[in-house]
């Protein structure tokens, strides 16, 4: 898929271009910079010296030498000072200029570290937001496989507010956790659990009437036809939706050209997010591909949290799924 968050060592990525968090001066720094130079060999430093100084926020490109890549893009990230010294704008420029160089070299794939979050002290939640924003903006207009590489899970952090909000929602809605915590077993019969819910005053039962205007006339249509109907209803171009869903053009073409095509559950959810469907419409779209959201799946509960809270950013959703050790959407 066009954008993936992966847990790996960036020097082991097999891509057209690897982005290196370079020192502004032509010397070998610490962290990612040292690892890239160690793997690429001594010729990389010679090539880097030919470039000279790189201004903060700018980028330059060299061959990758002994790395499993064609190019190394060197970008000088900002040092975090107080958040009032243009740090965010400079970090955004690192991503923009790196992607510009990759496009000029006709790269089909590129791997980024989370720039400036090591010894430069850039707050990881802010850096992640900037990375996701700049990458998603680029992908709306361009075709490229982009990886955001984190060495370990601890180097990847959500904002405390979002983490707590999702955690609370999971605690309140994840059936398996609730049964295990309160009853010491996940093997309660379904009707026993439902009876328990009826007894607890903290739970309210409401009847919801689905808001499925237009879909009643399309009851016999499959996933592909329903998806195209929803795109037309939204008044959007196909490319707007599949790019927002983080789905590549080839896969979308398969869906469009085959009325019987059955996508993966993750792909179906990605389109629901991209189309900003409500929970009822999402359930309807999923059912046409043979799927449903379950309270016993933490993955599904997180998806429901995003839809119920009208958070329709596929990249932010993937960030949360990554944090909770769940498979990512369309990745």
What DSSP line would sit under 162-224, residue for residue? HHHHHHHHHHHH-HHHHHHHHHS-S---HHHHHHHHHH-TT----------TTGGGGTT--HH
Per-range mean pLDDT, top range of 17-21, 127-131, 172-176, 193-197 = 17-21
Residues 307 and 295: their CA atoms lie apart, in Å, by 14
| 126 CB neighbour count, 10 Å cutoff | 18
User: How, if at all, do strands 71-75 and 59-63 pair?
Assistant: antiparallel
Q: Which residues lie below 8 Å from residue 304, measured CB to CB, with a gap of 6+? A: 173, 279, 293
Enzyme catalytic residues: 33
Q: Which residues lie below 8 Å from residue 100, measured CB to CB, with a gap of 6+? A: 59
Q: For residue 150, what pLDDT is reported? A: 82
Residues 21 and 119: their CA atoms lie apart, in Å, by 11
Q: State yes or no: pLDDT of 6 exceeds 90.
A: no
Provide mean pLDDT across the span 124-138.
Answer: 86
Tokens matching residue 183: 């009853």
Residues 89 and 92: their CA atoms lie apart, in Å, by 5
Q: State yes or no: pLDDT of 252 exceeds 50.
A: yes
The DSSP-derived string for 139-163 is HTT---EEEEEESSGGG----HHHH
Residues 11 and 147: their CA atoms lie apart, in Å, by 13
Tokens matching residue 52: 């000279």
Q: How confident is the model at residue 287 (pLDDT cuts 50, 70, 90)?
A: very high
Q: For residue 91, what pLDDT is reported? A: 97
Residue from 114, 120, 151 nearest 23 by CA? 120
Residues β-bridged to residue 17: 71, 110
| pLDDT, tens digit (0-9, with 9 covering 90-100), for 192-208 | 434 433 443 333 333 34
Domains and CATH numbers, the chain: 3-155 (3.40.220.10)
| pLDDT, tens digit (0-9, with 9 covering 90-100), for 291-330 | 999 989 999 999 999 999 999 988 788 888 888 888 877 5
Q: How confident is the model at residue 155 (pLDDT cuts 50, 70, 90)?
A: low
Mean pLDDT score of the chain = 84
| pLDDT, tens digit (0-9, with 9 covering 90-100), for 55-96 | 999 999 999 999 999 999 999 999 999 888 999 999 999 999
Tokens matching residue 228: 């195209």
The pTM score is 0.68
Q: For residue 159, what pLDDT is reported? A: 63
Q: For residue 90, what pLDDT is reported? A: 97
Residues 283 and 38: their CA atoms lie apart, in Å, by 50
With tokens 């959201």, the residue in question is 293
What stretches of the chain show up as alpha helix (H) in DSSP? 32-40, 42-51, 87-104, 124-139, 160-173, 175-183, 190-199, 223-234, 238-244, 249-257, 265-274, 279-287, 298-308, 314-323
| 63 CB neighbour count, 10 Å cutoff | 14
Higher pLDDT, 113 or 192: 113
Q: For residue 5, what pLDDT is reported? A: 82
């Amino acid at each position: 898929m066009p954008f993936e968050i992966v847990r790996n060592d960036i020097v082991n990525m097999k891509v057209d271009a690897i982005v290196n968090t370079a020192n502004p001066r032509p010397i070998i720094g610490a962290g990612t910079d040292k690892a890239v130079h160690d793997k690429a060999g001594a010729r990389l430093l010679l090539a880097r010296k030919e470039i000279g100084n790189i201004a903060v926020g700018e980028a330059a490109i060299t061959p990758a030498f002994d790395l499993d890549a064609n190019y190394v893009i060197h970008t000088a990230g900002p040092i975090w000072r107080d958040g009032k010294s243009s740090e965010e704008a400079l970090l955004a420029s690192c991503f923009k200029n790196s992607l510009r160089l990759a496009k000029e070299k006709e790269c089909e794939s590129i791997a980024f570290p989370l720039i400036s979050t090591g010894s430069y002290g850039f707050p990881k939640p802010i850096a992640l937001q900037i990375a996701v924003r700049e990458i998603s903006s680029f992908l709306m207009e361009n075709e490229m496989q982009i990886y955001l590489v984190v060495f370990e899970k601890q180097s990847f952090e959500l904002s405390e507010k979002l983490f707590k909000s999702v955690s609370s929602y999971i605690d309140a809605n994840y059936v398996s956790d609730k049964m295990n915590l309160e009853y010491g077993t996940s093997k309660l019969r379904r009707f026993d659990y439902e009876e328990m819910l009826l007894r607890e005053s903290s739970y309210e039962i409401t009847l919801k009437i689905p808001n499925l205007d237009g879909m009643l006339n399309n009851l016999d249509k499959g996933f592909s036809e329903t998806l195209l109907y929803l795109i037309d209803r939204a008044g959007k171009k196909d490319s707007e939706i599949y790019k927002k869903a983080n789905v590549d053009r080839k896969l979308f073409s398969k869906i469009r050209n085959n009325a019987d095509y059955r996508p993966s559950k993750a792909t179906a959810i990605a389109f629901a997010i991209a189309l900003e469907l409500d929970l009822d419409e999402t359930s309807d779209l999923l059912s046409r591909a043979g799927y449903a959201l379950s309270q016993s799946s933490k993955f599904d509960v997180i998806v429901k949290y995003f839809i119920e809270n009208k958070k329709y950013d596929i990249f932010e959703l993937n960030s949360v799924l990554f944090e909770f050790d769940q498979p990512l959407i369309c990745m």
